[in-house]
Amino acid sequence: MASNRAVAFVAASFLTTLCLGAITDAQSAATQPSAPSADLTSLSLEDLMNVQVTSVSLHAQKLSEAPAAITVIRPDDIRDSGLNSIPELLRLAPGMDVQQVNANRWAITSRGFNGLFADDLLVLMDGRSVYTLVFGGVRWNAIDYPLADLDRIEVIRGPGATVWGSNAVNGVVNITTKSADQTQGLLVDSQLSTEQAEQSVRYGGKIDDNTYYRVYSKVGYADSGKNTDNTPSHDEWSSYQGGFRIDRFASPKDTLTLQGDAHYQQLDDVTNVLVTADPRSDDENGENILGRWTHTDSDRASTTLQAYYDRNQAGDFPANTQEDSFDIDFQNRLPLGENQELTWGLGARDTELLYGEFFPNEFTPSHWSDYLYSGFVQDQITLLPNTLQWYLGTKLEYTRLTKFEVQPGTRLLWTPDDRNSVWAAVSRSLRQPSLFQDTTLDIGGFDSTHGDVSSEQLISYELGYKVQPSKTFTVDWTGFYNSYRDLISYTPLLTPNFIPYGVSYNNDLSAHTYGTEISANWQATDAWRLAASYSYLRVVTSRQGLLGPMVPQAQISYSEGSTPRNQFQLHSYLEITKNLGFNASAYYEDALPTINLPPQDSQKVPSFVRADANVVWRPGDHMTATTGVRNLLQNRHSESGNFNSLVQNSQAERRYFVECELSY
Amino acid sequence: MIVAFQRPGNCSAALIGLVLAFGFTADVCRGQEPAPEYAVKAAFIYNFTQFITWPADAFTSADAPFIVAIVGNDPFKGAMDRAMEGKSAGGRPITVKHFASADQIGPCHLLFVPAEMDDSLSQIMDKTHNHPVLTVGESDRFSPAGGGMRFYIEDGKVRFEIDPDVIDAARLKVSAKLMKLARIWKR
């Protein structure tokens, strides 16, 4: 079986690389200088740039100047968290609701309305949008990369519409990978756990003094989990991914980048629709290529031109889909006098979708397409130097579906001194209807139709305060009030005998949400850092319009209950010695209520506390070994209810893992 | 289904054992640890003296030494003196001087300004302005105040930025090799 071979391969190469690591480490010890301070002067400039320094100030957060609820997850955070996938890492940002639905599916959102098809989060991978128009959401299983080569993950809660455009209603996740000159040499990262095996291999080199490249591959496999009744959940997956990146420093001001990836995955799950629960196996494949030119005149002036092509094929129940996107984007930032900085951009994207139906075993591909022209402008005005900044901007979009749409926003940032900063924002954002919501699909007699579906709207009011009372302690607080209109509901169509024969999409829900997110960071001693965060969210949904009263109560309850009300997390990072660290995390998630939504009754998801711990060991420059446990306190728990998806959810299990990262 | 994964205890215990065994081998042979921040900065400053050219009139005579100076309390705790011992720049021996405060700044070629000297920045810039002196700092206010080069930390590593206009005004020439690694800071 392919999966057996995959695991055997990973296990064998894991052990081989361990041996190689130990042997070469021992050999190179003879030729490498150790590092008393005088000998550092014998290192080349490039080598000096790679030396890790120890300093308390590293972890004390510098007061951020962004007028937004933003959390940046950096390589150190990734290594110390013991988490091994990008969806998991998003837990580290407060206000993000990350629910593992089964071994290969996630429901992730910020500030409410979670679900397998959660559609309000814009996710970018090196500038490429991984938001699919098929179901208006993110394919989390397709977002993967050797974690050691990630530069940062920026999580912005709240509307990013003004700069990033529509579909960034509740937040933006911006993932960037390191440039090729930062990932030189060989890196092998192997991970084995009680549920999964994964291995990445990357090699980076130089074509000439100004051109750097890397190539990588990542292979993974996970076995099936368990349902609440201990039966196997049939949610295995296997994944093969590879890619490259080339960066050329053409001049001191110009950088050219070319990158591409391809992934092939097989994902199993159990469908939830109609009467039977059927185990299925989906193939999901994707390929992309992206080119970018950046011209930097100074700290205040730069230009970027980017183009990419992205193809994704998936078996999305109830249809097979192939989605091709072509995108081109231009951005320019320039100072306008002493007190203003203008950023503006233009973009165009074309999406072609081919889709065909799963059953009754006929493949008659239909074609759906959408184009998007966009422009945005943002002015940053310094009202009082170093003290008061005002941001004013708007995005203007034109699509085939929704014609002209305007998404303005404004923010104010006040920094009275270098310990305090206050910001406030008002923005309008929109979410386009997805393929499923725009099209009539006929699946074995089950109809999906739509009224005149238009974009969902949000007006958001936010306030934030960041304070750094001492060099070792920072607190970041955000509060928000969101007012939603024209949310798309799906109303079951019933025969006169009340038998459902289809579903109809209409814009007849409105909602308001409010909440708060707080995070704090404390460098307690030179070697011990603590971080904590808390978020609170209330969702109130109501019906609107003529068809509103037909929306079933279950759907109201669903939209109010899909995200837990309270979430809390605490992290401890302890440096036992310079080479050994012990990290522990605890997460508390509130319960999700019981909701009765056809075709199956959902289960209440009780509240839970999850505890993780890991030990990180760096015996030398070339090796990092991590071992730990996830879900220390319980054998398994549910994170997501059955109610919101076509796929049956399974439970997140306790996992022991070992990881070894070798680099040369 | 893989049998090994059904017995997590045995499997991961064995793996942990393997990792530890190999890890110990590696540890015995190698002892490199992360370096102290100021030792790295001192090494960078040595490199600056090698890859930047000072005008001839910056020196009083053909065998006048190259003077690296620190103003205020010495954050290097001797690391700078150790780094420069026995070294030379442009054929001239490097000597390290310590100036207790901004008004005691005397002739020098490279002046390091520690972060705690923020309040004296304008005084320091007045003294070095119009002289062929490379000012190197580390605080956030250093570059806006007119500093030539500044260290900052990113991802646990030391990086530096250059203000090319200030360098030009001091009649210093930075080699392309150093420029390529620097972040450019513009007013």
User: Across-strand partners of B68?
Assistant: B96, B110
Helix (H/G/I), strand (E/B), else coil: A13:
helix
Multiple choice CATH, B37-184, 3.30.460, 3.40.50, 3.90.1150, 1.10.10: 3.40.50
Helix (H/G/I), strand (E/B), else coil: A234:
coil
- What dihedral do alpha carbons B148, B154, B159, B161 form, nearest 10°? -30
What pLDDT, on the 0 to 100 scale, is given for residue A55?
A: 45
Hey, is the C-beta of B185 within 8 angstroms of any chain A C-beta? yes
Q: Judge residue A4's burial from the number of C-beta atoms within 10 Å of its C-beta, 0-12 exposed, 13-18 middle, 19 or more buried.
A: exposed
What pLDDT, on the 0 to 100 scale, is given for residue A518?
A: 93
Q: Find the mean pLDDT for residues A224-251.
A: 80
Is residue A58 predicted with pLDDT exceeding 50? no
Interface test with B, best of A10, A14, A48 (most B CBs within 10 A): A48
Hey, is the C-beta of B47 within 8 angstroms of any chain A C-beta? yes
Interface test with A, best of B6, B15, B48, B74 (most A CBs within 10 A): B15
- The residue that leads in pLDDT, A256 or A33, is A256
Hey, is the C-beta of B182 within 8 angstroms of any chain A C-beta? no
What pLDDT, on the 0 to 100 scale, is given for residue A266?
A: 86
Name which of A266-275, A332-341, A503-512, A549-558 the model is least confident about: A266-275
φ, ψ of residue A9 to 5 degrees: the values are: -60, -50
Residue owning tokens 């070697």? A527
A175, A649 Cβ separation under 8 angstroms: no
pLDDT range class, residue A663, cuts 50, 70, 90: confident
From B24, B26, B177, residue closest to A21, measured CB to CB: B26
A370: its two tokens = 């959408």
Q: What does the H/E/C string look like for A589-612?
A: ECCECCCEECCEECCCECCEEEEE
Interface test with B, best of A40, A526, A658 (most B CBs within 10 A): A40
Buried b (16+ CB within 10 A) or exposed e, A70-106: bbbbebebbbbbbbbbbbbbbbbbbbbbbbbbbbbbb
Q: Could B181 and A298 be called an inter-chain contact, meaning their C-beta atoms sit closer than 8 Å?
A: no
What pLDDT, on the 0 to 100 scale, is given for residue A168?
A: 63
CA A637 to chain centre: 22
Taking only the tens place, the pLDDT of each residue in A604-621 is: 678 888 899 999 998 877
φ, ψ of residue B19 to 5 degrees: the values are: -60, -45
Taking only the tens place, the pLDDT of each residue in A392-425 is: 888 888 887 778 888 888 989 898 887 888 999 9
- The residue that leads in pLDDT, A359 or A178, is A178
Residues of chain B in contact with residue A45, where contact means CB-CB under 8 angstroms, are 47, 51, 177-178, 181
Residues of chain B in contact with residue A75, where contact means CB-CB under 8 angstroms, are 155
β-strands A500-525, A446-450 pairing: parallel
Residues of chain A in contact with residue B16, where contact means CB-CB under 8 angstroms, are 627, 658
Name which of A472-486, A493-507, B135-149 the model is least confident about: A493-507
Please report the ipTM that was assigned to this predicted complex: 0.76
Q: How far apart are CA A639 and CA A57, in angstroms?
A: 37
Q: How far apart are CA A566 and CA A536, in angstroms?
A: 5
pLDDT range class, residue A27, cuts 50, 70, 90: very low
Q: Could B11 and A194 be called an inter-chain contact, meaning their C-beta atoms sit closer than 8 Å?
A: yes
pLDDT range class, residue B16, cuts 50, 70, 90: very low
Give the residue on A whose Cα is nearest the Cα of B82.
A38
Residues of chain B in contact with residue A18, where contact means CB-CB under 8 angstroms, are 18-19, 22
Residues of chain A in contact with residue B11, where contact means CB-CB under 8 angstroms, are 194
CA-closest candidate to residue A110, choices A470, A482, A408:
A482
What pLDDT, on the 0 to 100 scale, is given for residue A307?
A: 96
Percent of chain B with pLDDT over 90: 41
The answer to whether the peptide bond before residue A318 is cis (omega within 30 degrees of 0) is yes
Q: How far apart are CA A279 and CA A206, in angstroms?
A: 47
From B11, B40, B179, residue closest to A40, measured CB to CB: B40
Helix (H/G/I), strand (E/B), else coil: A323:
strand
Domains and CATH numbers, chain A: 2-29+69-663 (2.40.170.20)
Name which of A1-10, A304-313, B164-173 the model is least confident about: A1-10
Residues of chain A in contact with residue B36, where contact means CB-CB under 8 angstroms, are 37, 53-55
Q: Could B12 and A55 be called an inter-chain contact, meaning their C-beta atoms sit closer than 8 Å?
A: no
What pLDDT, on the 0 to 100 scale, is given for residue A1?
A: 40
Give B34→chain A minimum CA distance, Å. Answer: 5
State chain B's mean pLDDT as an integer.
79
What pLDDT, on the 0 to 100 scale, is given for residue A219?
A: 94
Name which of A16-20, A460-464, B54-58 the model is least confident about: A16-20
Percent of chain B with pLDDT over 70: 81
Q: Could A41 and B85 be called an inter-chain contact, meaning their C-beta atoms sit closer than 8 Å?
A: no
pLDDT range class, residue A250, cuts 50, 70, 90: confident
Query: Domain residue spans in chain B?
Result: 1-33, 37-184
Percent of chain A with pLDDT over 90: 24
Q: Find the mean pLDDT for residues A195-201.
A: 91
Q: Could B32 and A35 be called an inter-chain contact, meaning their C-beta atoms sit closer than 8 Å?
A: yes
Percent of chain A with pLDDT over 70: 75
Taking only the tens place, the pLDDT of each residue in A306-363 is: 999 999 988 765 567 889 999 999 989 888 988 898 889 899 999 998 877 654 444 4
Hey, is the C-beta of B27 within 8 angstroms of any chain A C-beta? yes
State chain A's mean pLDDT as an integer.
79
Q: State which of A71-80, A212-221, A389-398, B78-87 shows the largest mean pLDDT.
A: A212-221
B138: its two tokens = 């580390």
Largest CA distance in chain B: 81
The residues, ordered by sequence, that sit 6+ positions from A515 with a Cβ below 8 Å of its Cβ are: A95, A111, A479, A480, A535, A536, A537, A538
Q: Find the mean pLDDT for residues A180-194.
A: 90
What pLDDT, on the 0 to 100 scale, is given for residue A167?
A: 61
The residues, ordered by sequence, that sit 6+ positions from A96 with a Cβ below 8 Å of its Cβ are: A90, A108, A109, A110, A155, A157, A171
Q: Number of residue pairs across A and B with CB atoms under 8 Å?
A: 164
Interface test with A, best of B10, B18, B19, B154 (most A CBs within 10 A): B19
Walk across the sheet containing A150-157 and list its strands: A69-73, A150-157, A171-177, A121-125, A128-129
Q: How far apart are CA A445 and CA A459, in angstroms?
A: 39
Q: Could B179 and A252 be called an inter-chain contact, meaning their C-beta atoms sit closer than 8 Å?
A: yes
Give A569→chain B minimum CA distance, Å. Answer: 24
pLDDT range class, residue A10, cuts 50, 70, 90: low
What pLDDT, on the 0 to 100 scale, is given for residue A131?
A: 81
Q: What is the pTM of this model?
A: 0.71
Name which of A568-577, A643-652, B9-18 the model is least confident about: B9-18
What pLDDT, on the 0 to 100 scale, is given for residue A117?
A: 55
Residues of chain B in contact with residue A249, where contact means CB-CB under 8 angstroms, are 180
Give A259→chain B minimum CA distance, Å. Answer: 23
Interface test with A, best of B29, B50, B184 (most A CBs within 10 A): B29
